[in-house]
Structure 1
Amino acid sequence: MKNKLILVCDDEEGILDVVEMMLDAEGFTVKTELESAHVFDRIKEHNPDLLIVDLWMPVMSGDELIRKIRGNEEMKSLPIMVMSASRDGEGIAFGAGADTFISKPFDINAFVSKVNELIS
């Protein structure tokens, strides 16, 4: 999995730090973004192999972001994993076009397993 780039967006810096440490330990290159409104430009800039995004964020929600990505010809095939503490998060994520979903708080092994499934 070396050389695979993952972009992670969450408005909670603590979550970003934990996810970055987990994925870095697995050999992935990780870019993080606190501002959902900047993710579209970060995708253009870095061309990630996977986007991991929270659902509930200020300015642009995760489901809005996913719909924007899925509507873009150059980005629509980007694998997207949603993480959320929302009770309705899974349905919202899949309804927006996410490829997989994991609940917060998440099990580290389950999280890494889902990432590996999407990125391989």
Structure 2
Amino acid sequence: MSKTIYILEDNFEILEVISLILSAEGMEVCGYSMVSEFQKALEKSMPDLFIIDVTLPDGHGLNICDHLKLDQKTKNIPVILITANSEIEKMKLRSRADDFIAKPFDIEDLVKRVKRLF
């Protein structure tokens, strides 16, 4: 059975690239550009992993990650945060994320990190 990944990324091109790459690796990918869409999807089903952008138009990835890690239903699901913010080292210290990836990212590294968390 394939693994399901929920991606929350407001940049369509980045969302599309990540989706294509992980789909080619045999994973089921569901992409969302708004936090509200993402939250509605969580009401219906749970993924095996989350990839969440830190800066979003209707929320902040660090807060979303905290919420997921404090919720009994999602606390054990790995979260990868992605960001172009230069303060990534500071974010790592105050985040509950399982991994951080800086933008721009290496495609092979992304796939390796996702597989490691499975």
> Is the pair's TM-score, using the shorter chain for normalization, greater than 0.5?
yes
Among all aligned residue pairs of Structure 1 and Structure 2, give the percentage whose two residues are the same amino acid.
Answer: 29
Q: Which amino acid aligns with 2:52?
A: V
Contact 1:23/1:112 (<8 A) preserved = yes
Q: What 5-or-longer segments of structure 1 have no aligned partner?
A: none
* TM-score (normalizing by structure 2): 0.92
Looking at structure 2, the residues matched to 100 and 80 of structure 1 have their Cα atoms a distance apart, in angstroms, of: 7
Contact 1:4/1:48 (<8 A) preserved = yes
Report how far residue 80 of structure 1 moved: 0.2
Report how far residue 74 of structure 1 moved: 1.2
Contact 1:6/1:49 (<8 A) preserved = yes
Report the counterpart of residue 96 of structure 1 in structure 2.
95
Whether 1:14 aligns to 2:4 is: no
Report the counterpart of residue 114 of structure 1 in structure 2.
113
Report how far residue 94 of structure 1 moved: 5.0
SS at match of 1:73: coil
Looking at structure 1, the residues matched to 74 and 113 of structure 2 have their Cα atoms a distance apart, in angstroms, of: 20
Looking at structure 2, the residues matched to 40 and 94 of structure 1 have their Cα atoms a distance apart, in angstroms, of: 25
Report the counterpart of residue 48 of structure 2 in structure 1.
49
Report the counterpart of residue 29 of structure 2 in structure 1.
30
Report how far residue 27 of structure 1 moved: 0.5
Runs of 4+ in 1 over 4 A off after TM superposition: none
SS at match of 1:77: coil
Report how far residue 38 of structure 1 moved: 3.0
Per-residue CA distance 1:84-114 (angstroms, 9 max, x = gap): 1111134324522100011111111101000
Q: How big is the alpha-carbon RMSD for the aligned residues of Structure 1 and Structure 2?
A: 1.4
Contact 1:67/1:96 (<8 A) preserved = yes
Return closer, same or farther for 1:20/1:75 CA change in 2, 3 Å cut-off. Answer: same
Q: Which amino acid aligns with 1:35?
A: M
Looking at structure 2, the residues matched to 47 and 41 of structure 1 have their Cα atoms a distance apart, in angstroms, of: 11
Q: What 5-or-longer segments of structure 2 have no aligned partner?
A: none
Looking at structure 2, the residues matched to 40 and 22 of structure 1 have their Cα atoms a distance apart, in angstroms, of: 24
Looking at structure 2, the residues matched to 8 and 43 of structure 1 have their Cα atoms a distance apart, in angstroms, of: 12
